[in-house]
A and B are shown apart, each in its own frame.
Chain A
Amino acid sequence: MRNLASLLFAGGLAFLLLTLLSQLAFGTPPMRVGSEILAVAPGEVGAANLVTAILLGYRGFDTLGELAILFAAATAAGVVLGRRRDDARRDPPGGEVLRTGADLLFPLLVVVGFYVIAHGHLTPGGGFQGGVILAAAFFVALLAQPARHLSHGLILWIEGLAGAAFILIGIWALVASGDFLAPLLGPGRMGELLSAGTLPLLSLAIGLKVGAELAGIMAHIADAEAPDT
């Protein structure tokens, strides 16, 4: 019965894909939006890194969708993993080398993370990449000393406020210019740290949200009860 259902599902999917393939010739209609954006973006958004201009300016709504997906994944992971027993064993500390290494790496990773976030509109990088680096910084510290506790309440607050800030900036743009998440405050001078309007703010919101979410997921998985060996 289940095999039949899977066969039907796979057949239906293949049918839909084949229909699409037979109706649309490969590569048509030609996508001209790329060259259009390349021509318009430097004057309109003012971000030296065009990728960020597209991610946060022209495709900001897609980015909001990605944030929503990540949020759903983090929530699902939290629900599935549940809470640890209070009397469960913890892992032993990671030892001298790992602890000293983690203490040494932590400030460097935090600085690099914020640098990547803050310069997202100038150099390759941005909110997602910087957020993952921030999460890694906190996770390395947690690996070295599993007994150290990452405050889940604080993580929830950072995550919620950053997500709300992203949407509020979008609504602000909706009120001010009529388009959701349109860059505001003018493009500024390209190449300066404070340029490209609201893009750095959006970048910061994404970075904090992604960092808090991923650190939360990893702390949650790592916080599991140590195996009883």
Chain B
Amino acid sequence: MTTWVALVVVVLMLASALAVLLLRSFVAAVAATAVVGLGLTVLFVLMRAPDVAMTEAAVGAGLSGVILALALRRLGLWRIEDNGRGDGDA
């Protein structure tokens, strides 16, 4: 059972890691990196390392995503819509 859960999580992580490379929108890529961190958190929980899982959830899924998003905004790349209609900077 655990193996299957881990397998699904690993596939999800690989898919979102690929999505980071392939997605055109920077905002979506940042969200995908957070998904990789979240998957890693689940793996740590499965391996019975709750301490590491908490750190990974806080830093990998939360903090690094926020810092990447802030850096995007600072560079002026924070665009929700990518079809040139308007720049919806949040």
| Listed residue (B51, B62, B67) with the most chain A CB atoms within 10 angstroms of its CB | B51
CB–CB B66/A129 < 8 A: no
Q: Say whether chain A's binding surface is mostly helix, strand, loop, or mixed.
A: helix
**Chain A 125-154 interface 0/1 with B at a Cβ cutoff of 8 Å (1 = within):** 110110011011001000000000000000
Chain-A contact segment, one of B6-14, B15-23, B71-79: B71-79
Q: How many residues of B contact A (CB 8 A)?
A: 18
> Given known contacts A125-B51, A125-B54, A129-B54, is B89 in contact with A229 (CB within 8 Å)?
yes
Contact of A227 among B51, B53, B63, B89 (CB under 8 A): B89
Give A120's nearest chain B residue, CB to CB: B51
CB–CB B54/A124 < 8 A: yes
CB–CB A136/B89 < 8 A: no
A132 vs B63: C-alpha distance in the bound complex, in angstroms? 8
Give A126's nearest chain B residue, CB to CB: B51
Q: How many residues of A contact B (CB 8 A)?
A: 22
Least CB distance, B88 to chain A, in whole angstroms: 10
- B40-59 contacts to A (CB < 8 Å): 50-51, 53-55, 58-59
A132 vs B37: C-alpha distance in the bound complex, in angstroms? 15
Which residues does chain A contribute within 8 Å of B59, judged by CB atoms? 132
CB–CB B58/A133 < 8 A: yes
CB–CB B76/A136 < 8 A: no
Least CB distance, A84 to chain B, in whole angstroms: 11
Least CB distance, A50 to chain B, in whole angstroms: 10
Interface status of B70 (Cβ within 8 A of chain A): yes
CB–CB A221/B51 < 8 A: no
Which residues does chain A contribute within 8 Å of B76, judged by CB atoms? 227
Which residues does chain A contribute within 8 Å of B63, judged by CB atoms? 132, 135-136, 214, 218
Least CB distance, B60 to chain A, in whole angstroms: 11
Interface status of A190 (Cβ within 8 A of chain B): no
A49 vs B52: C-alpha distance in the bound complex, in angstroms? 13
Interface status of A224 (Cβ within 8 A of chain B): yes
- A187-229 contacts to B (CB < 8 Å): 214, 217-218, 221-222, 224, 227, 229
Interface status of A64 (Cβ within 8 A of chain B): no
Interface status of B81 (Cβ within 8 A of chain A): no
Give A124's nearest chain B residue, CB to CB: B50
Which residues does chain B contribute within 8 Å of A217, judged by CB atoms? 67
Which residues does chain B contribute within 8 Å of A124, judged by CB atoms? 50-51, 53-54
The 5 residue pairs across chains A and B that have the minimum distance between CB atoms: A124-B50, A132-B58, A221-B70, A129-B54, A51-B51
Interface residues of B (CB under 8 A from A): 50-51, 53-55, 58-59, 62-63, 66-67, 70-71, 73-74, 76, 87, 89
Question: Can you give 13 contacting A-B residue pairs, CB < 8 Å?
Answer: A125-B51, A125-B54, A129-B55, A129-B58, A132-B55, A136-B62, A136-B63, A218-B66, A218-B67, A221-B70, A222-B70, A224-B70, A224-B74
- Could you list 12 further interchain pairs (A-B, Cβ under 8 angstroms) beyond the known A124-B51, A224-B74? A52-B51, A116-B54, A124-B54, A132-B55, A132-B62, A136-B63, A139-B66, A218-B67, A221-B70, A222-B70, A224-B73, A227-B89
